[in-house]
Amino acid sequence: MLYAALSGCGGSASAPGAAPYLPLAPAKKGKYFTHIVIIVQENRTFDNLFATYPGADGTTTGKTHDGKSIPLRKADLESIVAPNNGYKPYWLRDCNADASQVCRMDGFDTVPIGKIPGTYVYKYVYPAQVAPYWQMAKQFVLSDHTFQTQGSGSFTAHQDLIRGGTEINASESLIDFPNDDPWGCTAPKGTVTSLITADNRYLGGQGPFPCLSYDTLRDLLDARQVTWRYYTPPNGNFAGDLWNAFEAIAAVRQGPEWSTNVISPETLVFTDIGRDTLPAVSWVIPDFQNSDHPGDDSDTGPSWVAQVVNAIGESPAWTSTAILILWDDWGGWYDHVPPPGARRFGGLGFRVPLLAVSPYAKAGYVSHNQYEFGSIVRFVEENWNLGSLGTTDATSPDFVHDFFDFTQKPRAFAPIQASYSKSYFLRQKPSLRPVDNE
């Protein structure tokens, strides 16, 4: 077994901000970069944000289950509801696979959202409302064929971003989310997860307690004394408010790194950037209200990302940093490109946008090559020669020489224009809501 069903791991550890917030030792330079920053956004497909981006594989026309083609409607970034995005809506409805398990991508209209018809998800966001993302794409790299590791929601997606996969043994993997909050070691006794087998049989509620002992990038980084931090929103006033991949990793949640490496609130990333003590590897998780999550009643997500990027771009770290910006899952929105490859453990999932920002990133380049979340894990591993976790990191394509040109002179940073300033986010009160609940 590669997991620990630790029903006795309840209780409360110190909040991430409880320990003295100390500067880190200088980050260890890697093969390509000294810093890799992974900024995670929420619940958008490629077509939803970049349907009309020049040179990208987007569309403004969708297919429905009855063979019709319908136009994608222009829409605000903010949505009144959040579409369904678990494994069953993904595979049994949206994908609508044929006999050979190839997604037809025409079942999105069969997933209603309460009383709202399924055609609600056939939308793309007004480009002006996501202008910072488009500006970054025009200056740097946009990948239009990056796929989720699994066709599921945020719990497994965030695990995939620290591990590359959620296999607990050779035949079973975690899928969807635990049946109680929070999603991790402090969940109530009796909380269970769901599983999917290597041949894609769904085992609802048959998984372990969500306190896991499998290795993540944390283990490889610590072994090589490569610094890392996970910047995340603070706990709120009810269970599950903190969305944090390491909440489910026993070695972190029950150890000292919960206070030293899991940093809350997430705006403290600006502190580390400002004093030039950014760790080698950073994951940056937004507050719910800045998350691009449908139903958050806010349009601040693009500005949040832009201000983190601007802070790095205007700091001494810029010349040695790669910033990756991606959306953790498709969020139920329409996308027209079927996930490629053989189906295993519920994957690959649907496309999500991926932006690569760096002084060495190719300027205005749209990559049509296929990548997945394991490619990001592999990028971190190869940069510091960490070895491999042996999940999708071992089989995912490498994007280093596709996204970056190390023969070019490092480019000076041009600030990303945004509607909301850095000071707005520093003054903003935490929403105390989970980043996602599915």
**Residue 400 belongs to a domain with what CATH number?**
3.40.720.10
What's the confidence (pLDDT) of residue 3?
34
Residues of the domain holding 126: 35-427
1 in a structural domain: no
> Model pTM greater than 0.85?
yes
23 in a structural domain: no
Instruction: Return d(Cα 328, Cα 176) in angstroms, integer.
Output: 13
What's the confidence (pLDDT) of residue 308?
98
8 in a structural domain: no
Which residues in the chain land under pLDDT 70? 1-21, 235-243, 435-438
14 in a structural domain: no
CB 253 within 8 A of CB 246: yes
Token pair belonging to 139:
């200056």
> What's the total number of domains in the chain?
1
Token pair belonging to 179:
């049946």
435 in a structural domain: no
Instruction: Return d(Cα 131, Cα 429) in angstroms, integer.
Output: 25
CB 86 within 8 A of CB 176: yes
What's the confidence (pLDDT) of residue 433?
79
27 in a structural domain: no
What's the confidence (pLDDT) of residue 114?
85
What's the confidence (pLDDT) of residue 235?
65
What's the confidence (pLDDT) of residue 295?
86
What's the confidence (pLDDT) of residue 434?
73
What's the confidence (pLDDT) of residue 6?
33
24 in a structural domain: no
What's the confidence (pLDDT) of residue 265?
92
Residues in the chain: 438
What's the confidence (pLDDT) of residue 7?
31
pLDDT in tens, 14-49: 343 444 567 788 899 999 999 999 999 999 999 999
> From the CA atom positions of the chain, what is the Rg in Å?
20
165 in a structural domain: yes
pLDDT in tens, 267-308: 999 999 999 999 999 999 999 999 999 987 899 999 999 999
